Amino acid sequence: MMVDEIKRHLLTGIIPFWKHLRDEENGGYYGWLGYDLILDKKAVKGCILNSRIMWFFSNAYMLFGDISLLEEAEHGFKFLKQFCMDKECGGIYWSLRYDGTPEDATKHTYNQAFAIYALSSYYNASGDEEALAMARGLFDLMEEKCRDEQGYLEAFTREFEPESNEKLSENGVLAEKTMNTLLHVFEAYTELYRVAGDESVRERLFWILDVIAEKVYDPVSHRQEVFFDKDYKSLLDLHSYGHDIEAAWLIDRGTKVLGDKAYEQKMTEITKDLTAQVYKAAFDGHSVANECENGVVDERRVWWVQAEAIVGFINGYEKDGSKAEYFEAAESIWRFIQQYIIDTRSGSEWFWEVDKSGRPLKDRPIVEPWKCPYHNGRMCLEVIRRLEK
C-alpha cells in the first residue's frame, strides 16, 4: 500500500538523511550538498532551510514520539534563537555564513513566516513557552512592519526599510506582492492560531482568506495569479501548478482550523476549482508539470511539485469521494517519485528535478537553501496522518 511505502521511506530515507546534515560544531544544518554528493560544510546556511528542518523534526516527533526527533528540533530551535534572529533590529535574517554570522541581513516577509511556522510547531512538540513567545513576537512585527492596507509586502532592509523583491520574483518580473508569500503567511498564521488560539491571529487569517478569494484567485482562469504590483494587478500570465495544488489543501486545512462554516463553504469552491484545474492541465497520468507561462508548459518534474500534488489530490478526494481519479493520481505520482525522483545513491535523498522522461538534471544540488524536507517530508507526514488505519 502507498501509505506503508511512504512511511517506510520517511523512516529509513528522509529522516536519517537530514539527521546526517546536522552541524555539531557551528549549529543548525549544513547548507549545501551537491549533485556529486560532496558536502560543503562552509556553505551559506539559509534561515528558511533551518526553519523548515526545525518544523519537520517537530512534526515528525509529534507523529512518531521518537525522542531523537525532538532533539533534532531542539537543535534547530537553538540555532534559530542564537543566530537567525536579529537581536538588535528584530526579525529573521535571510541567510548566515557557516559559522552563524549574518551573510544576508535582508528581512523578507516569507522568511519571518517560516520562522513562525517552525516555532509554533516546536512549541506544540516541546511545550517550550519561549518558542511561542518568539512566534507571537514575529507575528506582531510582521503586522507592524511587513504589510500595507492591501496585503503583505515582500523584502526589507535589516532595519525594515522597503527594498526590491529579487528573492521571490522570477520569470523576468519584479513583484511588490506575491501569491507565494501570502500563502505561506497564511500557513504560518494557521499553525500559530492552532497552537495558541490568539484572536488577533484569527482575525488576520480571515482577512488573508478574503484577499485570496477577491484578489489572488481568478475564477475565469481557474487558478491563482502569482506576481502582482502593489495594488494586486497581475504582472504575468503564469499558472504555477505546484503552488495551486499546495494552496488547495493548505487553505482547506486553514478553514478547518478556524472552524467557521461560512468561510469553509466559501473557500471550498475555490480549492475544488484549483484542484480540478491542476488535474486537468498539469497531470499527465504519471506526474505533474512545473508551470505554464504565456501558454507554454514547463515540462520539468520538480521534486516539491510532485510532493504537494500527492497531498493535494488526496485532499481533493477526501473532500469529494466521487473523485476517485484524484486518489489514483496520487498513487501514480508516488510511483513516479519512487522510480525517478528518489535518488537511490548512498548518502542522497531526492533529486531537485527531472525531465519529463525522468532523467535528473545534474546541475541541481541535493541540498541548498530551498531544498529541504519541508515538501517531501511533509507529504509523508500528511499521507500517514490521513491514510494510516
What CATH number does the domain containing 114 carry?
A: 1.50.10.10
Rounded Cα distance, 229 and 207, in Å: 19
pLDDT at residue number 325: 98
Rounded Cα distance, 79 and 250, in Å: 27
Placement of cell 482568506 in the chain? 209
pLDDT of the chain, 389 residues: tens digit per residue: 899 999 999 999 999 999 999 999 999 999 999 999 999 999 999 999 999 999 999 999 999 999 999 999 999 999 999 999 999 999 999 999 999 999 999 999 999 999 999 999 999 999 999 999 999 999 999 999 999 999 999 999 999 999 887 777 777 788 999 999 999 999 999 999 999 999 999 999 999 999 999 999 999 999 999 999 999 999 999 999 999 999 999 999 999 999 999 999 999 999 999 999 999 999 999 999 999 999 999 999 999 999 999 999 999 999 999 999 999 999 999 999 999 999 999 999 999 999 989 999 999 999 999 999 999 999 999 999 999 97
Rounded Cα distance, 125 and 232, in Å: 37
Rounded Cα distance, 121 and 110, in Å: 17
Those residues with Cβ within 8 angstroms of residue 344's Cβ, 6 or more apart along the chain or in another chain = none
pLDDT at residue number 148: 94
C-alpha cell at 25: 560544531
Q: Residue 185's closest CA among 84, 108, 109, 94?
A: 109
Placement of cell 512549541 in the chain? 123
The tally of domains found in the chain comes to 1
Rounded Cα distance, 68 and 61, in Å: 8
Whether the model pTM is above 0.85: yes
What angle do the packed helices 324-336 and 303-319 form, to 10 degrees? 160
pLDDT at residue number 166: 78
Q: What are the angstrom distances between the C-alpha of 108 and each of 182, 230, 255, 331?
A: 12, 16, 26, 36
User: Domain range for residue 353?
Assistant: 2-387
Q: Residue 282's closest CA among 222, 370, 230?
A: 222
pLDDT at residue number 155: 94
